[in-house]
Amino acid sequence: MTDTLFTMTDCAASATLKMRQEVPDYRGKDLRIYLAGKGCDGFDYGVAFDTAEPNDLLFKTEHGITIICDERTMEFVRGSTLDWADDDRGRGYLVLNPNHRKFRGKFYRKPDWKAKLSSLNGQNA
């Protein structure tokens, strides 16, 4: 496991533990964060219960819950907080990314995401 690069709210941790107890298919699985798409307002993130693949990155949260992320996605969710909503927005996980504004703009091809992020990070280094 690598250093924690994600944080998780208490609400998200409670929801995760509750779902693991109530849904047999989720028992023994971790949470995968992935890029579900990109539009003008930035990335759409997905969160699902899953099993890690050999090349996945694993991060243990302060709640002891493991988050799975592939290397490509990691570049775009580094420093994010996983939260849980159950309100007028809906019910489910939210990926709160402090860098979200950097990824806004016209839709462009996936290979270009990495180049854009690298150039942004180079300016901040």
Q: In this model, does residue 123 exceed pLDDT 50?
A: no
Q: In this model, does residue 12 exceed pLDDT 50?
A: yes
Render pLDDT for 53-101 as a digit per residue (tens, 0 to 9): 999 999 888 899 999 998 888 888 888 899 999 888 788 998 888 776 6
C-alpha torsion 45→50→89→80, nearest 10: -50
- Across the range 28-56, mean pLDDT stands at 87
For the domain bounded by 7-117, which CATH number is listed?
2.60.300.12
Sequence ranges of the domains in the chain:
7-117
The whole-angstrom distance between residue 15's C-alpha and the CA centroid of its chain comes to: 16
When comparing pLDDT for 15 and 41, which is higher?
15
